[in-house]
Amino acid sequence: MRIVRPMLLRAVRSAALRACLGAMVLAGCQTTGTAPTAAAPPPKGTSPKPTVPPSTDSADFAQWLAGLRAEAVGQGIRPATFDRAFARVRLSPRIIELDSAQPEFTRMVWSYLDSAVSDARVQKGRAKIQENSALFTRVSREYGVPAEILAAFWGVESDFGRDTGTFAVVDALTTLAFNGRRAAYFRSELLVALKILDSGDIAPERMTGSWAGAMGQTQFMPTIFQRYAVDEDGDGRRDIWTSMPDVLASTARFVRGNNWQPGERWGDEVRLPAGFPYDQAELTVVKPVSEWRRMGVRLMNGAEPEGDATPAAILLLAGAEGPAFLVRENFRAIMRYNPSTSYALAVALLADRMAGRSGIAAPWPRHEQPLSKDERLELQQRLADMGYEPGTPDGIIGPSTRNAARRFQAAAGMVPDGFVTKALLERMRRGV
């Protein structure tokens, strides 16, 4: 997900890609890594560049496929299902290319939100809820997840079913499983995809998704599908590709199953008081709402945030000059779909706006430009050289880099918000 090659992201707007790239690269993004996610392969790490896969004619592939077939059959998948799924399998150099893509620049969070939470998408989501109000009401009641949250996931994941990815899932997962890089993860997803085919939910030629195997309108990876997909329309198949009842109920079941608290909000935009300790603005710093209140955190209208013992964290995605949010457990529930704070904020804000609430009140610091990968590496190296311990420089701005940046900012007499900008890099170059 996040960009410096906007065309790449726009062209391949699969949830899986957003998860792969976005979680790590979107500026200001914070990540967690604990729970299963619907559409997110594990981070890529720093494994060596893969080679382009040989064709399916190669002896290597034949041997690999024979091994996979034996394993699949051993797991109870019918040989006929396996053979049908692989009858026309293709290895895709394009998928390898996409899997290796490293964005040169990060995308600033406001730029991502401008497109993910556009007025057009808000309108479309409201229209979808209205057109299908009985269904939204029923599913929402059954799972305790608001209609607008369901519509927001649907909108962000697949633009309400318009954009679900055109890759054959078996081709995609086979390419990634055979290729060697994160092979074990994709092999296990592939075996589960075969189980789904074996259960008759979908025919292999209709099992389409993103290049990383995130499927249908919910962009579920196969393991998530197996655990959460629902046959809501009762036709005997869990069809997240074409059945809207199945799509919405499956989304709702996943969200509820990942600790969604019915009746609670995801959080609110807030004002932080002068002198706020900005090192406390990390998702890892959780305090009861009563404590944030005591520290002077207020809603934008000046009221005190509600909830005493409710655990919450302060989220800043663009430093002290950008908007601040008090986020609660339901924000983390959204992040289990995709472990990116920017993604979760997009879903939350889209839902709010569909429900008639206003968007963000405070302005983003839109004058800030994203750092290039080289600049991110340089900044990390400088922090390391100065003894601020950002971890091994990898070009990814995570909590360690932000905390190191805070230490530099504090020493330099700046507001220690950890927001990494060109101005901050300039200041380091000047040695102040």
- Closest residue to Ca ion, based on beta-carbon distance: 231
Place of tokens 């995605």: 317
Q: From the CB of 39, what's the least distance to Ca ion, in Å?
A: 20
Residue 233 found at the interface with Ca ion (CB under 5 A): yes
Q: Residue 282 is inside which H or E element, if any?
A: none
- Please state the φ and ψ torsions of residue 52, each to the nearest 5 degrees: -70, 135
Residue 242 found at the interface with Ca ion (CB under 5 A): no
Residue of 104, 231, 321, 375 interacting with Ca ion (CB under 5 A) = 231
Our CA angle for 382, 385, 391, nearest 5°, is 80
Residue of 60, 83, 235, 374 interacting with Ca ion (CB under 5 A) = 235
For the record, the structure tokens of 240 come out as: 């997240």
For the record, the structure tokens of 319 come out as: 């430093």
Q: From the CB of 135, what's the least distance to Ca ion, in Å?
A: 13
Size of interface with Ca ion, in residues (CB under 5 A)? 7
Question: What does the radius of gyration of the chain's CA atoms come to, in whole angstroms?
Answer: 22
Our CA angle for 368, 371, 377, nearest 5°, is 145
Identify whether the C-beta of residue 192 lies closer than 8 Å to the C-beta of residue 80.
no
Q: From the CB of 232, what's the least distance to Ca ion, in Å?
A: 6
For the record, the structure tokens of 189 come out as: 């997803």
Residues numbered 29-58 forming contacts with Ca ion, rule: CB under 5 A = none
Identify whether the C-beta of residue 359 lies closer than 8 Å to the C-beta of residue 353.
yes
CA–CA distances in Å: residue 216 to residues 19, 178, 386 = 16, 23, 48
Question: Quick one: which segment of 5-13, 26-34, 236-244, 364-372 binds Ca ion (CB under 5 A)?
Answer: 236-244
Residue 239 found at the interface with Ca ion (CB under 5 A): yes
Nearer to Ca ion, 106 or 243 (CB): 243
Nearer to Ca ion, 98 or 240 (CB): 240
Question: Quick one: which segment of 214-222, 232-240, 258-266, 288-296 binds Ca ion (CB under 5 A)?
Answer: 232-240
Q: From the CB of 201, what's the least distance to Ca ion, in Å?
A: 8
Mask: binding to Ca ion, 173-212, rule CB under 5 A, as x and -? ----------------------------------------
Nearer to Ca ion, 86 or 225 (CB): 225
Q: Count the neighbouring beta carbons within 10 Å of the beta carbon of residue 126.
A: 16
Question: Quick one: which segment of 13-21, 126-134, 235-243, 385-393 binds Ca ion (CB under 5 A)?
Answer: 235-243
Our CA angle for 42, 47, 51, nearest 5°, is 110
Q: From the CB of 17, what's the least distance to Ca ion, in Å?
A: 27
Question: Quick one: which segment of 105-113, 150-158, 230-238, 401-409 binds Ca ion (CB under 5 A)?
Answer: 230-238
Residue of 246, 282, 352, 417 interacting with Ca ion (CB under 5 A) = 246
Distance of alpha carbon 195 from alpha carbon 201, whole angstroms: 10
Q: From the CB of 236, what's the least distance to Ca ion, in Å?
A: 7
Determine the distance from the C-alpha atom of residue 64 to the mean position of all C-alpha atoms in its chain, rounded to a whole number.
31
Distance of alpha carbon 385 from alpha carbon 396, whole angstroms: 17
Question: Quick one: which segment of 44-52, 62-70, 135-143, 226-234 binds Ca ion (CB under 5 A)?
Answer: 226-234
Nearer to Ca ion, 237 or 332 (CB): 237
Identify whether the C-beta of residue 85 lies closer than 8 Å to the C-beta of residue 194.
yes
Nearer to Ca ion, 235 or 306 (CB): 235
CA–CA distances in Å: residue 42 to residues 102, 178, 213, 309, 382 = 15, 17, 13, 33, 29
Q: From the CB of 199, what's the least distance to Ca ion, in Å?
A: 12
Residue 142 found at the interface with Ca ion (CB under 5 A): no
Query: Binding residues for Ca ion, per CB under 5 A?
Result: 231, 233, 235, 237, 239, 243, 246
